[in-house]
Amino acid sequence: MFFRLFLLFTLIPAIELFLIIKVGSVIGALNTILIIIFTGILGAYYAREQGFRVVSNIQMKMQQGAVPGDDLVNGAMLLVGGALLITPGFITDFTGFALIFPPTREAIKVGVKRYLEKRVKQGQVTVHRY
C-alpha cells in the first residue's frame, strides 16, 4: 500500500513535471501552458456532458426498478477522469480522457470488473447488503 501511495503522490507528479519541462523546451512555455489549460477546459466540459448522461441513465433505470450497476461504475470512472483532467500534466490528461471517452471507458470498465470479481472471489473485497 505504501508503494502505491508513493507512486501516486511522488513519482507520477515528478514524471508529469519532467514531461511538462521537456515539452515546454520543445514547443515553448506559453504553448505548453495553453495546451494544459485547453485540455483542462475541454476535459471538464466533456466530463460534465458525459456525467449528465450517466445520471440520466441511473435515474431512468431506478424508475424502472432496475439496478444501475454499470452506470454507477461509469459515474465513478467519469469522476476520476474529470479529476485527472483538471490536474496539470500529460499523463493525467491522457488517463482522464481515456476514462471519459465512452469507447475507452467501456474497455477499461471490462478490466475493472474482472479485477473486482477476482478480488471478491479471493475474499479481498467484502460485499455488504443492507
User: Residue 126 pLDDT > 80, yes or no?
Assistant: no
Q: Using alpha carbons, select from 78, 113, 72 the residue that is nearest to residue 97.
A: 78
Distance in angstroms (rounded) separating the CA atoms of residues 55 and 57: 5
Q: How does residue 27 score in pLDDT terms, banded at 50, 70 and 90?
A: very high
Please name the residue that has the C-alpha cell 505548453: 32
- Is residue 33's pLDDT more than 90? yes
Return the pLDDT at 96: 93
User: Residue 44 in 3-state DSSP?
Assistant: helix
pLDDT in tens, 66-109: 888 888 889 989 999 988 988 889 999 999 999 999 999 999 99
Assigned C-alpha cell, 11:
513519482
Global model pTM greater than 0.85: no
Question: How many C-beta neighbours within 10 Å does residue 63 have?
Answer: 8
Instruction: Give residue 130's pLDDT.
Output: 66
Q: Which range (59-63, 103-107, 126-130) has the least confidence?
A: 126-130
Q: Could you tell me the sign of the dihedral formed by the alpha carbons of 108, 83, 118, 73, in that order?
A: negative
